[in-house]
Structure 1
Amino acid sequence: MILERTMSDDFLTNTYLVADGPGGSAVLIDAGGRLAPLLDAIERERLTLVSILLTHHHWDHVSDLDAVLERFPGTPVLIHANERALVPQATGELVPGEPLSVGGLRIDPLHTPGHTSGMVSLLVSDGHQQALFTGDTLFKGSVGGVRGPDHTTYADIKSSIMDTLLRLPADTPVHPGHTEPTSVGAELESNRFVRVWNGVDPEGSQPCTALGEPATLILLGDDYDGGYKAWVRWPDGSDDIVPGSKVETAS
Protein backbone atom coordinates (compact mmCIF):
# COMPACT_ATOMS: atom_id res chain seq x y z
CA MET A 1 0.00 0.00 0.00
CA ILE A 2 1.19 3.49 -0.87
CA LEU A 3 0.13 6.12 1.67
CA GLU A 4 1.23 9.74 1.45
CA ARG A 5 -0.02 12.78 3.37
CA THR A 6 0.10 16.54 3.07
CA MET A 7 -1.06 19.04 5.69
CA SER A 8 -2.31 22.56 4.99
CA ASP A 9 -0.52 25.47 6.64
CA ASP A 10 -3.63 27.30 7.81
CA PHE A 11 -6.11 24.72 9.12
CA LEU A 12 -3.60 21.88 9.62
CA THR A 13 -5.89 19.74 7.47
CA ASN A 14 -4.60 16.43 6.16
CA THR A 15 -5.17 15.13 2.65
CA TYR A 16 -4.17 11.54 1.91
CA LEU A 17 -3.18 9.65 -1.22
CA VAL A 18 -3.74 5.90 -0.89
CA ALA A 19 -2.89 3.42 -3.63
CA ASP A 20 -2.47 -0.32 -4.02
CA GLY A 21 1.04 0.01 -5.44
CA PRO A 22 3.14 1.62 -8.19
CA GLY A 23 1.30 1.69 -11.48
CA GLY A 24 -1.93 0.84 -9.72
CA SER A 25 -5.16 2.44 -8.55
CA ALA A 26 -5.45 5.30 -6.08
CA VAL A 27 -7.87 7.50 -4.16
CA LEU A 28 -7.53 10.86 -2.51
CA ILE A 29 -9.10 11.18 0.92
CA ASP A 30 -10.29 14.77 1.33
CA ALA A 31 -8.89 17.74 -0.57
CA GLY A 32 -7.85 20.27 2.02
CA GLY A 33 -4.86 22.10 0.66
CA ARG A 34 -1.19 21.66 -0.28
CA LEU A 35 -2.19 18.97 -2.74
CA ALA A 36 0.59 19.53 -5.31
CA PRO A 37 2.94 16.89 -3.79
CA LEU A 38 0.17 14.29 -3.87
CA LEU A 39 -0.88 15.13 -7.42
CA ASP A 40 2.75 14.92 -8.49
CA ALA A 41 3.02 11.52 -6.77
CA ILE A 42 0.06 10.22 -8.79
CA GLU A 43 1.94 10.94 -11.99
CA ARG A 44 5.34 9.88 -10.64
CA GLU A 45 4.03 6.50 -9.50
CA ARG A 46 1.95 6.11 -12.69
CA LEU A 47 -1.24 5.79 -10.65
CA THR A 48 -4.81 5.95 -11.87
CA LEU A 49 -6.84 8.26 -9.65
CA VAL A 50 -10.11 6.36 -9.30
CA SER A 51 -11.99 8.72 -6.98
CA ILE A 52 -11.87 11.45 -4.37
CA LEU A 53 -13.43 10.33 -1.09
CA LEU A 54 -14.65 13.06 1.27
CA THR A 55 -14.97 12.44 4.99
CA HIS A 56 -17.32 15.44 5.26
CA HIS A 57 -18.20 18.74 3.62
CA HIS A 58 -16.44 21.36 5.78
CA TRP A 59 -14.46 23.89 3.76
CA ASP A 60 -11.06 22.98 5.15
CA HIS A 61 -11.52 19.43 3.76
CA VAL A 62 -12.81 20.36 0.30
CA SER A 63 -11.11 23.68 -0.49
CA ASP A 64 -8.85 22.24 -3.22
CA LEU A 65 -11.36 19.99 -4.96
CA ASP A 66 -11.41 22.19 -8.04
CA ALA A 67 -7.61 22.07 -8.29
CA VAL A 68 -7.70 18.27 -8.29
CA LEU A 69 -10.46 18.15 -10.88
CA GLU A 70 -8.62 20.61 -13.09
CA ARG A 71 -5.61 18.30 -13.14
CA PHE A 72 -7.60 15.06 -13.25
CA PRO A 73 -10.90 16.02 -14.88
CA GLY A 74 -13.85 13.70 -14.55
CA THR A 75 -12.64 12.06 -11.33
CA PRO A 76 -15.66 10.91 -9.29
CA VAL A 77 -16.17 12.74 -5.98
CA LEU A 78 -17.97 10.70 -3.32
CA ILE A 79 -19.46 11.78 0.02
CA HIS A 80 -22.18 10.56 2.38
CA ALA A 81 -25.74 11.14 1.12
CA ASN A 82 -26.50 13.53 4.01
CA GLU A 83 -23.90 15.98 2.71
CA ARG A 84 -23.94 15.49 -1.04
CA ALA A 85 -26.01 18.61 -1.65
CA LEU A 86 -23.43 20.64 0.28
CA VAL A 87 -20.58 19.86 -2.16
CA PRO A 88 -21.43 20.94 -5.73
CA GLN A 89 -18.59 18.85 -7.18
CA ALA A 90 -19.91 15.60 -5.65
CA THR A 91 -20.91 13.01 -8.25
CA GLY A 92 -21.83 10.06 -6.03
CA GLU A 93 -22.20 8.72 -2.53
CA LEU A 94 -20.23 6.79 0.06
CA VAL A 95 -22.64 4.21 1.44
CA PRO A 96 -21.82 2.67 4.83
CA GLY A 97 -21.97 -1.10 4.56
CA GLU A 98 -21.11 -1.05 0.86
CA PRO A 99 -17.32 -1.48 0.44
CA LEU A 100 -15.50 0.03 -2.51
CA SER A 101 -13.01 -1.97 -4.55
CA VAL A 102 -10.17 0.19 -5.87
CA GLY A 103 -7.65 -2.05 -7.58
CA GLY A 104 -6.24 -4.19 -4.78
CA LEU A 105 -7.77 -2.01 -2.07
CA ARG A 106 -10.96 -2.61 -0.13
CA ILE A 107 -12.41 0.60 1.32
CA ASP A 108 -15.14 0.32 3.95
CA PRO A 109 -17.09 3.54 4.65
CA LEU A 110 -18.05 3.77 8.33
CA HIS A 111 -20.74 6.26 9.30
CA THR A 112 -19.36 8.19 12.29
CA PRO A 113 -21.72 11.13 12.87
CA GLY A 114 -21.27 13.82 15.49
CA HIS A 115 -18.98 16.46 14.02
CA THR A 116 -21.33 16.39 10.99
CA SER A 117 -24.38 14.30 10.19
CA GLY A 118 -22.72 12.54 7.27
CA MET A 119 -19.22 12.16 8.64
CA VAL A 120 -17.57 9.06 7.19
CA SER A 121 -14.45 7.29 8.41
CA LEU A 122 -12.71 5.02 5.94
CA LEU A 123 -11.12 1.67 6.71
CA VAL A 124 -8.71 0.79 3.91
CA SER A 125 -7.16 -2.66 3.51
CA ASP A 126 -4.91 -4.24 0.88
CA GLY A 127 -5.22 -7.75 2.31
CA HIS A 128 -1.99 -7.43 4.30
CA GLN A 129 -2.38 -4.20 6.24
CA GLN A 130 -5.13 -1.75 6.99
CA ALA A 131 -5.40 1.93 7.84
CA LEU A 132 -8.24 3.93 9.36
CA PHE A 133 -8.98 7.49 8.21
CA THR A 134 -11.14 9.23 10.81
CA GLY A 135 -11.85 12.70 9.39
CA ASP A 136 -12.80 15.04 12.23
CA THR A 137 -14.19 12.36 14.54
CA LEU A 138 -11.04 11.16 16.32
CA PHE A 139 -7.66 12.87 16.56
CA LYS A 140 -4.42 12.01 18.28
CA GLY A 141 -5.25 12.73 21.91
CA SER A 142 -8.53 14.48 21.16
CA VAL A 143 -12.00 14.19 19.63
CA GLY A 144 -14.11 16.19 17.23
CA GLY A 145 -16.44 18.95 18.35
CA VAL A 146 -20.19 18.97 17.86
CA ARG A 147 -20.78 22.69 17.37
CA GLY A 148 -19.83 23.18 13.71
CA PRO A 149 -22.10 23.38 10.65
CA ASP A 150 -24.37 20.32 10.29
CA HIS A 151 -23.25 18.85 13.62
CA THR A 152 -25.33 16.26 15.43
CA THR A 153 -24.87 15.34 19.11
CA TYR A 154 -22.43 14.47 21.86
CA ALA A 155 -24.05 11.03 22.09
CA ASP A 156 -23.37 10.48 18.38
CA ILE A 157 -19.68 11.34 18.49
CA LYS A 158 -19.12 9.30 21.64
CA SER A 159 -20.79 6.28 20.03
CA SER A 160 -18.90 6.81 16.76
CA ILE A 161 -15.60 6.70 18.63
CA MET A 162 -16.29 4.08 21.28
CA ASP A 163 -18.65 1.73 19.44
CA THR A 164 -17.22 1.95 15.92
CA LEU A 165 -13.65 3.23 15.65
CA LEU A 166 -12.09 1.93 18.87
CA ARG A 167 -13.61 -1.53 18.43
CA LEU A 168 -11.03 -2.15 15.71
CA PRO A 169 -7.79 -4.03 16.55
CA ALA A 170 -5.42 -2.05 18.79
CA ASP A 171 -2.66 -2.03 16.18
CA THR A 172 -4.85 -0.35 13.55
CA PRO A 173 -3.14 2.86 12.39
CA VAL A 174 -5.33 5.96 12.67
CA HIS A 175 -4.92 8.81 10.21
CA PRO A 176 -7.05 11.78 11.35
CA GLY A 177 -8.28 14.78 9.42
CA HIS A 178 -5.80 17.05 11.22
CA THR A 179 -2.17 16.74 12.31
CA GLU A 180 -0.42 13.58 13.44
CA PRO A 181 -1.26 9.88 13.08
CA THR A 182 -1.93 7.59 16.00
CA SER A 183 -3.39 4.11 16.55
CA VAL A 184 -6.48 2.55 18.09
CA GLY A 185 -4.40 1.21 20.97
CA ALA A 186 -2.72 4.55 21.67
CA GLU A 187 -6.08 6.32 21.86
CA LEU A 188 -7.52 3.69 24.18
CA GLU A 189 -4.51 4.15 26.42
CA SER A 190 -3.91 7.90 26.44
CA ASN A 191 -6.81 9.87 24.95
CA ARG A 192 -8.26 11.67 27.96
CA PHE A 193 -11.82 11.69 26.65
CA VAL A 194 -11.66 7.96 25.98
CA ARG A 195 -10.17 7.25 29.39
CA VAL A 196 -13.12 8.93 31.11
CA TRP A 197 -15.62 7.19 28.83
CA ASN A 198 -13.99 3.87 29.71
CA GLY A 199 -14.19 4.63 33.44
CA VAL A 200 -10.39 4.73 33.86
CA ASP A 201 -10.35 8.40 34.93
CA PRO A 202 -13.07 10.29 36.83
CA GLU A 203 -15.28 13.03 35.46
CA GLY A 204 -14.61 16.60 36.57
CA SER A 205 -17.18 18.72 38.38
CA GLN A 206 -15.93 22.30 38.16
CA PRO A 207 -18.55 24.99 37.53
CA CYS A 208 -17.86 26.99 34.38
CA THR A 209 -19.34 29.22 31.73
CA ALA A 210 -19.43 27.61 28.28
CA LEU A 211 -20.52 29.53 25.20
CA GLY A 212 -21.77 32.18 27.63
CA GLU A 213 -24.01 29.76 29.54
CA PRO A 214 -23.59 28.13 32.98
CA ALA A 215 -22.31 24.55 32.80
CA THR A 216 -20.12 21.96 34.51
CA LEU A 217 -16.67 21.28 33.12
CA ILE A 218 -16.32 17.49 32.87
CA LEU A 219 -12.98 17.58 31.04
CA LEU A 220 -10.68 20.17 29.50
CA GLY A 221 -8.61 18.10 27.10
CA ASP A 222 -5.97 18.81 24.50
CA ASP A 223 -6.91 19.58 20.92
CA TYR A 224 -4.97 18.82 17.75
CA ASP A 225 -3.94 22.45 17.18
CA GLY A 226 -2.26 22.99 20.55
CA GLY A 227 -5.42 24.43 22.10
CA TYR A 228 -8.13 22.72 24.12
CA LYS A 229 -11.39 20.88 23.60
CA ALA A 230 -13.94 20.89 26.42
CA TRP A 231 -16.54 18.35 27.47
CA VAL A 232 -19.26 20.22 29.36
CA ARG A 233 -22.56 19.31 30.96
CA TRP A 234 -25.50 21.68 30.81
CA PRO A 235 -27.96 22.23 33.68
CA ASP A 236 -30.51 19.93 32.00
CA GLY A 237 -28.02 17.05 32.19
CA SER A 238 -27.12 16.99 28.50
CA ASP A 239 -23.46 16.92 27.44
CA ASP A 240 -21.56 18.78 24.72
CA ILE A 241 -18.09 18.99 23.17
CA VAL A 242 -17.15 22.65 22.63
CA PRO A 243 -14.00 24.67 21.90
CA GLY A 244 -11.90 25.10 25.03
CA SER A 245 -11.52 28.78 24.17
CA LYS A 246 -15.25 29.19 24.77
CA VAL A 247 -15.06 27.93 28.37
CA GLU A 248 -14.31 30.08 31.41
CA THR A 249 -13.79 28.97 35.02
CA ALA A 250 -13.49 30.94 38.24
CA SER A 251 -9.87 29.93 38.80
Structure 2
Amino acid sequence: MILERSMHPQFLSNTYLVAAREGGEAFFVDAGGPMEPLFEAVERHRLTPTHVLLTHHHHDHVCEVPAILERWPDVQVLIHPTERDLVDTATGTMEAGTTVRAGGLDVQTLHTPGHTSGMLSLLVDGNVFTGDTLFKNSVGGVRAPDSTSYADLKHSVMDVLLALPPETILRPGHTDPSTVAEELEHNAFARVWRGVDPEGDEPCTALGERATLVLLGDDYDGGHKAWVRWPDGRDDIVPGSKVQRGA
Protein backbone atom coordinates (compact mmCIF):
# COMPACT_ATOMS: atom_id res chain seq x y z
CA MET A 1 0.00 0.00 0.00
CA ILE A 2 1.16 3.54 -0.81
CA LEU A 3 0.64 6.02 2.03
CA GLU A 4 1.93 9.60 1.97
CA ARG A 5 1.31 12.34 4.56
CA SER A 6 1.47 16.13 4.50
CA MET A 7 1.13 18.19 7.70
CA HIS A 8 0.09 21.84 7.82
CA PRO A 9 2.79 23.92 9.57
CA GLN A 10 0.31 25.98 11.61
CA PHE A 11 -2.75 23.73 12.02
CA LEU A 12 -0.56 20.62 12.45
CA SER A 13 -3.38 18.85 10.60
CA ASN A 14 -2.62 15.84 8.43
CA THR A 15 -3.73 15.12 4.88
CA TYR A 16 -3.09 11.62 3.59
CA LEU A 17 -2.77 10.12 0.12
CA VAL A 18 -3.55 6.40 -0.05
CA ALA A 19 -3.45 3.84 -2.87
CA ALA A 20 -3.15 0.11 -3.26
CA ARG A 21 -0.43 0.20 -5.91
CA GLU A 22 1.65 2.27 -8.30
CA GLY A 23 -0.23 3.40 -11.38
CA GLY A 24 -3.67 2.82 -9.85
CA GLU A 25 -6.44 4.85 -8.32
CA ALA A 26 -5.96 6.78 -5.09
CA PHE A 27 -7.84 8.72 -2.43
CA PHE A 28 -7.14 11.52 0.01
CA VAL A 29 -8.08 11.44 3.68
CA ASP A 30 -9.00 15.00 4.65
CA ALA A 31 -7.69 18.04 2.85
CA GLY A 32 -6.05 20.53 5.17
CA GLY A 33 -2.90 20.89 3.13
CA PRO A 34 -0.30 21.70 2.16
CA MET A 35 -1.31 19.78 -0.92
CA GLU A 36 1.69 20.28 -3.19
CA PRO A 37 3.76 17.44 -1.64
CA LEU A 38 0.83 15.09 -2.17
CA PHE A 39 0.21 16.32 -5.71
CA GLU A 40 3.86 15.55 -6.41
CA ALA A 41 3.39 12.09 -4.90
CA VAL A 42 0.41 11.51 -7.20
CA GLU A 43 2.66 12.18 -10.18
CA ARG A 44 5.56 10.16 -8.80
CA HIS A 45 3.40 7.09 -8.19
CA ARG A 46 1.38 7.63 -11.40
CA LEU A 47 -1.91 7.70 -9.48
CA THR A 48 -5.42 8.78 -10.38
CA PRO A 49 -7.30 10.28 -7.40
CA THR A 50 -10.98 9.37 -7.32
CA HIS A 51 -12.09 10.25 -3.78
CA VAL A 52 -11.58 12.62 -0.88
CA LEU A 53 -12.80 10.95 2.31
CA LEU A 54 -13.41 13.52 5.05
CA THR A 55 -13.28 12.55 8.71
CA HIS A 56 -15.25 15.67 9.69
CA HIS A 57 -16.11 19.18 8.58
CA HIS A 58 -13.72 21.47 10.48
CA HIS A 59 -11.83 24.04 8.42
CA ASP A 60 -8.36 22.64 9.07
CA HIS A 61 -9.44 19.33 7.51
CA VAL A 62 -11.36 20.55 4.46
CA CYS A 63 -9.93 23.92 3.36
CA GLU A 64 -7.91 22.48 0.45
CA VAL A 65 -10.72 20.46 -1.14
CA PRO A 66 -11.12 23.15 -3.84
CA ALA A 67 -7.46 22.68 -4.85
CA ILE A 68 -8.09 18.97 -5.35
CA LEU A 69 -11.25 19.57 -7.36
CA GLU A 70 -9.45 22.10 -9.53
CA ARG A 71 -7.06 19.36 -10.66
CA TRP A 72 -9.51 16.46 -10.67
CA PRO A 73 -13.07 17.82 -11.08
CA ASP A 74 -14.66 14.37 -11.01
CA VAL A 75 -13.30 13.40 -7.61
CA GLN A 76 -15.99 12.33 -5.13
CA VAL A 77 -15.83 14.24 -1.82
CA LEU A 78 -17.60 12.18 0.84
CA ILE A 79 -18.49 12.93 4.46
CA HIS A 80 -20.92 11.63 7.08
CA PRO A 81 -24.53 12.62 6.26
CA THR A 82 -24.97 14.76 9.40
CA GLU A 83 -22.11 17.03 8.28
CA ARG A 84 -22.88 17.09 4.55
CA ASP A 85 -24.43 20.57 4.64
CA LEU A 86 -21.43 21.96 6.55
CA VAL A 87 -18.98 21.45 3.66
CA ASP A 88 -19.88 23.27 0.44
CA THR A 89 -17.45 21.21 -1.61
CA ALA A 90 -18.77 17.81 -0.50
CA THR A 91 -20.35 15.89 -3.38
CA GLY A 92 -21.88 13.00 -1.43
CA THR A 93 -22.02 11.07 1.82
CA MET A 94 -20.74 7.86 3.36
CA GLU A 95 -22.71 6.16 6.09
CA ALA A 96 -21.04 4.79 9.18
CA GLY A 97 -20.63 1.03 9.24
CA THR A 98 -20.26 0.69 5.50
CA THR A 99 -17.36 -0.01 3.16
CA VAL A 100 -16.18 2.48 0.54
CA ARG A 101 -14.15 1.13 -2.36
CA ALA A 102 -11.44 3.67 -3.15
CA GLY A 103 -7.84 3.59 -4.29
CA GLY A 104 -8.14 -0.12 -5.00
CA LEU A 105 -8.85 -0.72 -1.30
CA ASP A 106 -11.83 -1.42 0.95
CA VAL A 107 -12.25 1.43 3.46
CA GLN A 108 -14.44 0.66 6.47
CA THR A 109 -16.21 3.64 8.03
CA LEU A 110 -16.41 3.73 11.84
CA HIS A 111 -18.66 6.26 13.57
CA THR A 112 -16.57 7.94 16.29
CA PRO A 113 -18.58 10.96 17.49
CA GLY A 114 -17.57 13.28 20.30
CA HIS A 115 -15.39 15.92 18.70
CA THR A 116 -18.14 16.29 16.07
CA SER A 117 -21.46 14.51 15.58
CA GLY A 118 -20.54 12.87 12.29
CA MET A 119 -16.90 12.11 12.93
CA LEU A 120 -15.77 9.08 10.93
CA SER A 121 -12.64 7.01 11.43
CA LEU A 122 -11.50 5.11 8.35
CA LEU A 123 -10.08 1.61 8.66
CA VAL A 124 -8.04 0.28 5.74
CA ASP A 125 -5.40 -2.43 5.54
CA GLY A 126 -4.35 -2.35 9.20
CA ASN A 127 -4.42 1.45 9.43
CA VAL A 128 -7.16 3.59 10.97
CA PHE A 129 -7.42 7.30 10.22
CA THR A 130 -8.83 8.68 13.45
CA GLY A 131 -9.59 12.30 12.57
CA ASP A 132 -9.75 14.38 15.75
CA THR A 133 -10.97 11.57 18.01
CA LEU A 134 -7.69 10.01 19.11
CA PHE A 135 -4.14 11.34 18.87
CA LYS A 136 -0.76 10.05 19.97
CA ASN A 137 -0.87 10.47 23.78
CA SER A 138 -4.08 12.51 23.68
CA VAL A 139 -7.74 12.59 22.71
CA GLY A 140 -10.07 15.02 20.98
CA GLY A 141 -11.92 17.77 22.79
CA VAL A 142 -15.67 18.14 23.02
CA ARG A 143 -15.90 21.93 22.90
CA ALA A 144 -15.43 22.46 19.14
CA PRO A 145 -18.33 23.37 16.80
CA ASP A 146 -20.80 20.46 16.42
CA SER A 147 -19.24 18.48 19.29
CA THR A 148 -21.48 16.06 21.12
CA SER A 149 -20.37 14.80 24.54
CA TYR A 150 -17.65 13.41 26.75
CA ALA A 151 -19.53 10.11 26.90
CA ASP A 152 -19.51 9.87 23.10
CA LEU A 153 -15.81 10.61 22.90
CA LYS A 154 -14.90 8.06 25.58
CA HIS A 155 -17.00 5.41 23.84
CA SER A 156 -15.41 6.22 20.47
CA VAL A 157 -11.90 5.95 21.89
CA MET A 158 -12.24 2.96 24.18
CA ASP A 159 -14.99 0.86 22.60
CA VAL A 160 -14.29 1.51 18.93
CA LEU A 161 -10.71 2.59 18.21
CA LEU A 162 -8.78 0.99 21.07
CA ALA A 163 -10.85 -2.18 20.68
CA LEU A 164 -9.14 -2.77 17.32
CA PRO A 165 -6.23 -5.26 17.16
CA PRO A 166 -3.21 -3.97 19.12
CA GLU A 167 -0.99 -3.79 16.03
CA THR A 168 -3.42 -1.45 14.22
CA ILE A 169 -1.63 1.74 13.19
CA LEU A 170 -3.40 4.93 14.25
CA ARG A 171 -3.13 7.78 11.74
CA PRO A 172 -4.55 10.84 13.51
CA GLY A 173 -5.82 14.09 12.11
CA HIS A 174 -2.93 15.94 13.75
CA THR A 175 0.77 15.14 14.15
CA ASP A 176 2.31 11.71 14.65
CA PRO A 177 1.10 8.13 14.20
CA SER A 178 0.83 5.56 16.96
CA THR A 179 -0.65 2.10 17.49
CA VAL A 180 -3.54 0.73 19.49
CA ALA A 181 -1.09 -1.06 21.79
CA GLU A 182 0.94 2.10 22.40
CA GLU A 183 -2.11 4.19 23.25
CA LEU A 184 -3.56 1.58 25.60
CA GLU A 185 -0.26 1.58 27.45
CA HIS A 186 0.81 5.24 27.35
CA ASN A 187 -2.19 7.50 26.64
CA ALA A 188 -3.02 9.11 30.00
CA PHE A 189 -6.76 9.31 29.24
CA ALA A 190 -6.93 5.66 28.21
CA ARG A 191 -4.99 4.58 31.29
CA VAL A 192 -7.51 6.21 33.62
CA TRP A 193 -10.46 4.92 31.60
CA ARG A 194 -8.96 1.41 31.82
CA GLY A 195 -8.62 1.74 35.60
CA VAL A 196 -4.82 1.50 35.49
CA ASP A 197 -4.29 5.00 36.91
CA PRO A 198 -6.56 6.80 39.41
CA GLU A 199 -8.67 9.86 38.72
CA GLY A 200 -7.45 13.15 40.14
CA ASP A 201 -9.52 15.31 42.48
CA GLU A 202 -7.78 18.69 42.42
CA PRO A 203 -10.04 21.78 42.63
CA CYS A 204 -9.71 24.04 39.60
CA THR A 205 -11.41 26.71 37.55
CA ALA A 206 -12.27 25.63 34.01
CA LEU A 207 -13.72 28.00 31.43
CA GLY A 208 -14.31 30.41 34.32
CA GLU A 209 -16.35 27.90 36.36
CA ARG A 210 -15.46 25.87 39.45
CA ALA A 211 -14.67 22.25 38.65
CA THR A 212 -12.56 19.25 39.62
CA LEU A 213 -9.47 18.46 37.58
CA VAL A 214 -9.63 14.73 36.92
CA LEU A 215 -6.66 14.68 34.52
CA LEU A 216 -4.34 17.19 32.90
CA GLY A 217 -3.02 15.27 29.89
CA ASP A 218 -0.90 16.02 26.87
CA ASP A 219 -2.25 17.50 23.66
CA TYR A 220 -0.92 16.98 20.15
CA ASP A 221 0.43 20.55 19.87
CA GLY A 222 2.71 20.34 22.90
CA GLY A 223 0.12 21.88 25.21
CA HIS A 224 -2.41 20.16 27.42
CA LYS A 225 -5.94 18.87 27.37
CA ALA A 226 -7.96 18.67 30.57
CA TRP A 227 -10.61 16.24 31.74
CA VAL A 228 -12.72 18.12 34.26
CA ARG A 229 -15.82 17.28 36.29
CA TRP A 230 -18.44 19.94 36.91
CA PRO A 231 -20.24 20.27 40.28
CA ASP A 232 -23.32 18.52 38.86
CA GLY A 233 -21.22 15.43 38.07
CA ARG A 234 -20.89 15.97 34.31
CA ASP A 235 -17.52 15.24 32.75
CA ASP A 236 -15.95 17.38 30.04
CA ILE A 237 -12.74 17.61 28.04
CA VAL A 238 -11.52 21.18 27.55
CA PRO A 239 -8.32 22.93 26.46
CA GLY A 240 -5.71 22.85 29.19
CA SER A 241 -5.12 26.56 28.63
CA LYS A 242 -8.65 27.20 29.94
CA VAL A 243 -7.93 25.57 33.31
CA GLN A 244 -6.51 27.26 36.41
CA ARG A 245 -5.25 24.72 38.93
CA GLY A 246 -5.97 25.02 42.62
CA ALA A 247 -8.59 27.72 42.08
* Distance in 2 of aligned mates of 1:108 and 1:250: 44
State yes or no: 1:178 paired with 2:174: yes
How far does the alpha carbon of each residue in 1:90-131 deviate from its partner, in whole angstroms, 9 at most, with x for none?
A: 111111121012253110010000000000000012xxxx21
Letter in 1 for 2:199: E
* Distance in 2 of aligned mates of 1:100 and 1:62: 19
Instruction: Provide the residue aligned with 2:119 in structure 1.
Output: 119
SS in structure 1 at match of 2:17:
strand
SS in structure 1 at match of 2:162:
helix
Q: Which has the higher mean CA deviation after the structures are superposed, 143-152 or 71-80?
A: 71-80
Instruction: Provide the residue aligned with 2:163 in structure 1.
Output: 167
Instruction: Provide the residue aligned with 1:64 in structure 2.
Output: 64
Q: How does 1:32-43 map to 2 (within 5 A)?
A: 32-43=32-43
SS in structure 2 at match of 1:201:
coil
Instruction: Provide the residue aligned with 2:90 in structure 1.
Output: 90
1:44 Cα deviation after fit: 2.0
SS in structure 2 at match of 1:73:
coil
Instruction: Provide the residue aligned with 2:223 in structure 1.
Output: 227
TM-score norm. by structure 1 comes to 0.97
* Distance in 1 of aligned mates of 2:81 and 2:201: 39
* Distance in 2 of aligned mates of 1:208 and 1:116: 26
Instruction: Provide the residue aligned with 1:144 in structure 2.
Output: 140
Q: How does 1:192-207 map to 2 (within 5 A)?
A: 192-207=188-203
* Distance in 1 of aligned mates of 2:102 and 2:74: 16
Answer yes or no: is the 8 Å Cα contact 2:214–2:228 preserved in 1: yes
Structure 1's consecutive aligned runs of 4 or more residues displaced over 3 angstroms after TM superposition are none
Percent of aligned positions with the same letter in both sequences? 64
* Distance in 2 of aligned mates of 1:4 and 1:84: 26
Number of matched residues?
A: 247
* Distance in 2 of aligned mates of 1:24 and 1:224: 33
Letter in 1 for 2:3: L
SS in structure 1 at match of 2:185:
helix
Instruction: Provide the residue aligned with 1:21 in structure 2.
Output: 21
Answer yes or no: is the 8 Å Cα contact 2:3–2:18 preserved in 1: yes
1:45 Cα deviation after fit: 1.2
How far does the alpha carbon of each residue in 1:129-157 deviate from its partner, in whole angstroms, 9 at most, with x for none?
A: x2110000000000000000000000000
How far does the alpha carbon of each residue in 1:188-207 deviate from its partner, in whole angstroms, 9 at most, with x for none?
A: 00000000000000000000
RMSD value, Cα:
0.9
Q: Which has the higher mean CA deviation after the structures are superposed, 98-107 or 235-244?
A: 98-107
1:243 Cα deviation after fit: 0.1
The runs of 5 or more residues in structure 1 that have no matched partner are none
* Distance in 1 of aligned mates of 2:36 and 2:191: 38
* Distance in 1 of aligned mates of 2:49 and 2:142: 32
Answer yes or no: is the 8 Å Cα contact 2:83–2:118 preserved in 1: yes
SS in structure 2 at match of 1:218:
strand
The runs of 5 or more residues in structure 2 that have no matched partner are none
1:250 Cα deviation after fit: 2.5
1:223 Cα deviation after fit: 0.2
* Distance in 2 of aligned mates of 1:189 and 1:139: 14
* Distance in 2 of aligned mates of 1:74 and 1:149: 29
1:160 Cα deviation after fit: 0.3
